[in-house]
Amino acid sequence: MPSRIEDYALIGDCEAAALVARNGSLDWLCWPRFDSDACFAALLGSNEHGHWQIAPRGGGAVISRRYRPNTLILETRFECSDGAVTLVDFMPLGGTRSSVVRLVVGERGQVTMCTELVLRFGYGAIVPWVTRLEDGGLRAIAGPDMVVLRTPVHLVGQNLTTVGEFTVAAGQTVPFVLTYAPSHDAPPEPLDVPSALATTESFWKEWSRKCRPPAHCSDAIVRSLITLKALTYWPTGGLVAAPTTSLPESLGGVRNWDYRFCWLRDATLTLLALMDAGFYDEARFWREWLVRAVAGSPQQVQIMYGIAGERRLTELEVPWLPGYEDSRPVRRGDGCAVPSAMQRTGGKRIRLGPAARAFISPRARLDRAGCRNLGDAR
């Protein structure tokens, strides 16, 4: 069973995003892009559909967590009878390969930890081919995808699962680094973890420092802005509505849509929030994305696009996933992208707001183009 939705925390690198539960289980990650197939999909199924947990052996720990101030670096603290450890989770920014870094930091006493890694590509369907590299890392390949796990912890295979047990004493740090690469490439080089952590922390703090006016920038507002920033796809400037698919509007219902795409209306609201706080670069990058996506015929504008401006977002159901709280079907893609807005809104014409129009050339006249409402009317 997945955790409650409210018990998940987001980490990301502005290319992909992962959800980590309070119990230290990473239950959702699509690689290498927000809209790629998930290699951890327990959020919409069970552990057998892909998850990665690092937690004290035996359970029973008192758990608390926080983000490091003004960053997207997550810290989960486990207080046990024998000691305390902090699990630090983040995704480094600006590297040539996307990675998830998990650091187990001993705070007090000595704690025995366990890790369980279940990699399942293709939304939980594909068991990868796992081999050990010369440097001791584990390489998992499934079709076009490859991930490499590097850690000093001794890991073994058990029932198509990678498991390990280790002890952390006060003052010690045990790293785990999982890195994505195309399967036809050479394995990615090992990550300099201390440098990656310092660079990532510096990036988020420097970005957060731009918030204006200072009196407006409470901790809650900055945290919200960081979350919005994490949903930007920096290679293109696109903005996803969410990093997930098929979380239900109501438990057990069928209105379970894939929100890993760029809705013009959603993006406009996001950019208004960012600009109100002094963040204008994201708006400029999105404007460039929008001009490319709309292309040469504004009359063909769509309500939504892929994160690189793709128009055809073929919708398919994923029948082997039971869905969050048995909310079926699980969907990937969105068939609403291509039909005209007039078809999708029952004949009502809904115009883009003035903020969106301000980002594009006047000649485009996008204010005359229809777009459907924020919600899916199916």
Q: What is the DSSP string of 286-321?
A: HHHHHHHHHTT-GGG--SEE-TT--S----EE-TT-
Task: Output the pLDDT for position 362.
Answer: 37
The three-class DSSP label of residue 359 is coil
CA-angle at 351, arms to 350 and 355, nearest 5°: 140
Q: Where are the alpha helices (DSSP H) in 145-250?
A: 193-208, 219-230
The set of residues, in sequence order, having a beta carbon less than 8 Å from that of 269 and lying 6+ positions away, is none
Q: By C-alpha distance, which of 285, 312, 287 is closest to 300?
A: 312
Task: In whole angstroms, give the CA distance from residue 256 to residue 277.
Answer: 32
DSSP 8-class letter at 42: G
Task: In whole angstroms, give the CA distance from residue 104 to residue 24.
Answer: 11
Residue 358 has pLDDT above 90, yes or no: no
Range with the lowest mean pLDDT among 225-229, 285-289, 335-339?
335-339
Q: Tokens for 146, please give them.
A: 């490859």
Mean pLDDT, rounded, for 31-50: 98
- Residue 46 amino acid letter: S
The set of residues, in sequence order, having a beta carbon less than 8 Å from that of 63 and lying 6+ positions away, is 22, 23, 76, 77, 78, 79
Mean pLDDT, rounded, for 183-190: 97
Find out whether 196 and 91 touch, Cβ atoms under 8 Å: no
pTM for the model stands at 0.90
For 315-357, the pLDDT digits (tens) are 999 999 999 999 999 999 998 876 544 444 344 343 444 444 4
Mean pLDDT, rounded, for 283-287: 95
Instruction: Assign 378 a pLDDT band (cuts: 50, 70, 90).
Output: low
Mean pLDDT (the chain, rounded): 90
Find out whether 34 and 10 touch, Cβ atoms under 8 Å: no
CA distances to 50, 336, 349 from 38, in Å: 9, 22, 35
Find out whether 368 and 357 touch, Cβ atoms under 8 Å: no
Task: In whole angstroms, give the CA distance from residue 196 to residue 73.
Answer: 12
Task: In whole angstroms, give the CA distance from residue 170 to residue 108.
Answer: 5
Return the top range by mean pLDDT from 13-27, 250-264, 287-301. Answer: 13-27
Mean pLDDT, rounded, for 78-100: 95
Tokens 């690689």 belong to 31
Instruction: Assign 219 a pLDDT band (cuts: 50, 70, 90).
Output: very high
Burial of 287 (0-12, 13-18, 19+ CB in 10 A): middle
The set of residues, in sequence order, having a beta carbon less than 8 Å from that of 132 and lying 6+ positions away, is 138, 139
- Residue 372 amino acid letter: R
Task: Output the pLDDT for position 339.
Answer: 53
Q: What are the start-end ranges of the E strands in 13-98? A: 17-21, 25-30, 38-40, 51-56, 62-67, 74-80, 83-90
Task: In whole angstroms, give the CA distance from residue 182 to residue 87.
Answer: 28
Q: Tokens for 98, please give them.
A: 């996307």
Mean pLDDT, rounded, for 139-148: 98
Provide the angle, in degrees to the nearest 10, between the axes of the packed helices 193-208 and 219-230: 120
